[in-house]
């Protein structure tokens, strides 16, 4: 929502309902860069949530926006309340609950059946500022970002500069435990799937397993054009030998870590990437169905084409 985004884009998004009438379209507001240090948007959520007048003004504006463009709900992606390194303050925790309460009450009074969700991190260090039991009273479900568990940012935290998979199922299960401990029902949790891989430049080309040291981000992909990340289609191009950026001269055999439900491989001598495919997605979906999660989300649909995820809703209807 910046000056370069035409308002027609919002209507174009909800016009998909003319093709599939029973689909629901939400607008998600926020994101990682929204709360980056030094940005004008970083303090916005904290300021909105800090006073009853601001909360109500925001809620009224949201209802107007949803009606104007035909959206069915709002997802709040505040990254992250309370976190000092993200411009947060300790009072954000209680204020976030009050913001959700105001939104829910305003939605219910609007005469429309609007839905409300929020996005949550997998990391305890950010999740500790979320009063989950109080928040879920007003939200329809929680979108859990079970990707980006690792990346080049690990070099500046206690984990250190070692390569690790960013969608490790073992760690996803540990993250889910944080929600079970405060009695969040599994059906209120939606599990995230990443259509991309996190990539590194190895420090030692003879050490290529998870836990080996890295010296920085990977080389940028030809389309994603950002070090440390490769879209699924860029990974596939490397594997099938059609990549314009890889100097691959030998056959690559990806390693499938069955326990952690993830793949990884090394290419161009010192480039390392972890990623999911239809096999590892199926493993993760099987676990999600086993514990009764409410659904799945992906980030992002333009990063690759993969076989559809099939989840069984926890209320027992057909997939």
The catalytic residues are 79
**Cβ proximity of 63 and 110 under 8 Å:** yes
Interatomic CA distance for residues 71 and 100, integer angstroms: 18
What is the b/e burial string over 163-181, where b = at least 16 CB atoms within 10 angstroms of the residue's CB? bbbbbbbebbeebbebbee
CB-count exposure of residue 134 (10 Å: 0-12, 13-18, 19+): middle
In the chain, what is the greatest distance between 2 CA atoms, to the nearest angstrom? 63
Pair type for strands 189-194 and 141-144? parallel
Pair type for strands 26-30 and 73-77? parallel
Structure tokens that stand for 66 in this block: 């949803």
Exposure on the CB side of residue 124, measured as CA atoms within 13 A:
8
H helices within the chain, ranges in order? 8-14, 44-49, 52-69, 92-108, 124-127, 132-135, 169-180, 232-240, 278-291
CA-based nearest residue to 21, from 65, 70, 62: 70
- Rama region for 30: left / alpha / beta (φ>0; ψ in -120 to 50; rest): left
What is the b/e burial string over 95-129, where b = at least 16 CB atoms within 10 angstroms of the residue's CB? bbbbbbbbbbebbeebeeebbbbbbbbbbeebbeb
Render 120-181 in DSSP notation, one character per residue: E-S-HHHHTT--HHHHTTT-SEEEE--S-SSSGGGGGSTT-SB---TT-HHHHHHHHHHHHT
């Amino acid at each position: 929502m910046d000056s370069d985004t035409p308002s027609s884009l919002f209507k174009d998004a909800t016009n998909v309902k003319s093709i599939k009438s029973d689909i629901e379209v939400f607008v998600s507001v926020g994101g990682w860069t929204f709360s980056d240090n030094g940005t004008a948007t970083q303090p916005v959520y904290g300021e909105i949530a800090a006073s009853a007048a601001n909360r109500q003004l925001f809620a009224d504006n949201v209802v107007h926006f949803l009606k104007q463009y035909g959206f069915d709900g709002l997802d709040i992606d505040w990254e992250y309340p309370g976190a000092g390194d993200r411009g947060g303050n300790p009072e954000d925790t209680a204020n976030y609950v009050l913001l959700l309460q105001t939104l829910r009450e305003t939605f219910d009074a609007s005469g429309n059946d609007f839905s409300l969700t929020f996005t949550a991190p997998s990391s305890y260090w950010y999740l500790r500022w979320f009063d989950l039991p109080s928040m879920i009273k007003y939200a329809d479900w929680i979108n859990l970002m079970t990707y980006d568990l690792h990346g080049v940012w690990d070099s500046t935290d206690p984990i250190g500069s070692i390569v690790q998979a960013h969608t490790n199922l073992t760690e996803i299960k540990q993250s889910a435990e944080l929600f079970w401990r405060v009695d969040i029902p599994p059906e209120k949790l939606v599990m995230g799937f990443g259509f991309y891989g996190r990539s590194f430049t190895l420090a030692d080309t003879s050490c290529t397993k998870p836990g080996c040291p890295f010296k920085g981000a990977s080389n940028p992909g030809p389309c994603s054009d950002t070090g440390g990340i490769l879209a699924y289609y860029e990974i596939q191009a490397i594997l099938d030998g059609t990549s314009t950026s890889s100097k691959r001269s030998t056959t690559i055999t990806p390693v499938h870590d069955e326990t952690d439900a993830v793949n990884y491989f090394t290419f161009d001598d010192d480039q390392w990437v972890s990623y999911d495919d239809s096999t590892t997605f199926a493993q993760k979906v099987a676990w999600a169905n086993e514990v009764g999660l409410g659904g799945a989300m992906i980030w992002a649909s333009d990063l690759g084409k993969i076989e559809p995820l099939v989840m069984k809703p926890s209320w027992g209807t057909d997939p």
